[in-house]
Chain A
Amino acid sequence: MPDIVTEIIHKYNYWLYIILMMIGLYAMIAKNNLIKKLIGMNIFQTAIILFFISIGYKEDATIPIIVGGHGPEMSHQAIEAAQYMNPLPHVLMLTAIVVSVATLGVALALVIMVYQRYQTLEEDEIRMRVTQ
């Protein structure tokens, strides 16, 4: 049993993002209201973002901006890869955040259209009115 506990403590970032992701997935599957489904989708996306950012982290490293990288006192000392965090996950997640904003905007527009047509956002009521 202590094995599992140390495992969780060493990899708590993965546990956190998986729990968050499953909350989002459950909301997308089980919730009846379309807005709640959208919130679930956003929680899911946030979990993925958290996962990638945690991959980029390194012990004893600073943010990926070169110290003394510009200006008159520009230093010419060698840059070691262990000094700076991995910039690639940050870049990927920057674009992912933008995509999540774009999808959320279009999704909200669609939800407004659905509401204007059926006067409700509950999924079972919408299904009832579609079959009528």
Chain B
Amino acid sequence: MKLAGLIIVMICGGLLLTATQDFPAWGDPSSPASTHLSPHFITEALHETGAPNLVTAVLADYRGYDTMFETVVVFGAGLACILLLRTYTQRTRGREYRHIPTGIVIHIQDPNKAPKGQREFQLIDNMWVPHDLIIKTVCRILIPFIQIFGLYVVCHGDFSPGGGFQGGVIFGASLILLALSFDLRTFLEQMSEKALGLLCALGVVIYSGIGCMCILLGGNFLDYSQLAAVLPVDPGHVRALGMLGVEIGVGFSVMSVMAILYVNIASAGRHNQGL
């Protein structure tokens, strides 16, 4: 198997390497990729869409359909992960909780009940780690700033590097950091499974809703210039605002799918303990 694989890889690599002779040189401004469609995007996108960031302009406006179904793909991945992994079987024996200030360990028979004063008690799993003050404090300080940065990246996607996917991933990473530094249960108390699922669907609904609103206002699907009838801004800016709305939808979806993927994969669908 290894030898056959090596031979296949060698043949493929050799064929591809011979094909590079026909490829344009590195950084050639007159290469085929830079001469057909892209000059139009570069010279006209600012006038046509009002967004200085050409990547966002192409992503959310010229290729709006593609990005919409991209969001659906992300949504589908989250859905598939839940359907594959999520299990609802409850453990039958009780749980042990440690009281952090005194160090006393108590045992609770009912697995669904938690002791009062959640913050002072810590669940002991088989992946139990000692209460770590430094990590928790640092993460508690850092997470709000990471989230504000994520929101900035989403909102500023039209003007500077950024957009819904990037900002959503940063926001999702902050949620995963919360789940890593505390534990999965703390994270799910802040953001329940139901909220994550709803946010994930909400993103797709926002995106397609903006597209349908353009139809209702008399234009084509995702033709943002029709939104000028409802948004009180100058016509040159309306497409950029439509893109911003779409990017917010993408951000919601990506953020919640990141969290859903982490929660389900880290706990193998049981949602009781993470990494």
Contact = CB atoms under 8 A, between A and B. Distances in A.
Contacts of A86: 33-34, 38, 42
A98 B59 CA distance: 13
Contact of A29 (B9, B20, B53, B58): B9
A81 B38 contact: yes
B182 to A, nearest CB: 22
A87 B2 contact: no
B233 interface: no
B26 interface: yes
A30 B17 contact: no
Contacts of A83: 42
Contacts of B84: 106, 109-110, 113
B21 A7 contact: yes
A118 B77 CA distance: 24
A26 B70 contact: no
Interface stretch (B92-100, B157-165, B202-210): B157-165
A64 B85 contact: no
A98 B73 contact: yes
A18 B17 contact: yes
Interface string A95-131: 1011101110110111011001000000000000000
Interface string A27-65: 001100000000000000000000000111111110111
B29 interface: yes
B38 A69 contact: no
From A12, A26, A90, residue with most partner B Cβ within 10 Å: A26
Contacts of A13: 26
A90 B55 contact: yes
Contact of B27 (A59, A70, A106): A59
Contact of B77 (A57, A105, A112): A105
B160 A65 contact: yes
B38 A25 contact: no
A112 B34 contact: no
Contacts of B51: 69
Given A105-B261, A109-B80, A109-B265, A22 B52 contact: no
Contact of A95 (B2, B29, B66): B66
Interface string B30-72: 0101100111011101100001111101110001001100100
Interface residues of B, number: 65
A11 B77 CA distance: 37
Given A66-B52, A105-B265, A108-B265, A98 B26 contact: no
Given A88-B41, A98-B73, A57 B2 contact: no
Contact of B54 (A84, A105, A110): A84
Nearest to A52: B33
B12 interface: yes
B127 interface: no
A69 B46 contact: yes
B212 interface: no
A81 B42 contact: yes
A79 B43 contact: yes
B29 A58 contact: yes
B33 A55 contact: yes
A16 B37 CA distance: 27
From B31, B33, B57, B74, residue with most partner A Cβ within 10 Å: B33
Interface of B: 1-2, 4-6, 8-9, 12-13, 16-17, 20-21, 23, 25-29, 31, 33-34, 37-39, 41-43, 45-46, 51-55, 57-59, 63, 66-67, 70, 73-74, 76-78, 80-81, 84-85, 158-161, 163, 165, 254, 257-258, 261, 264-265, 268-269
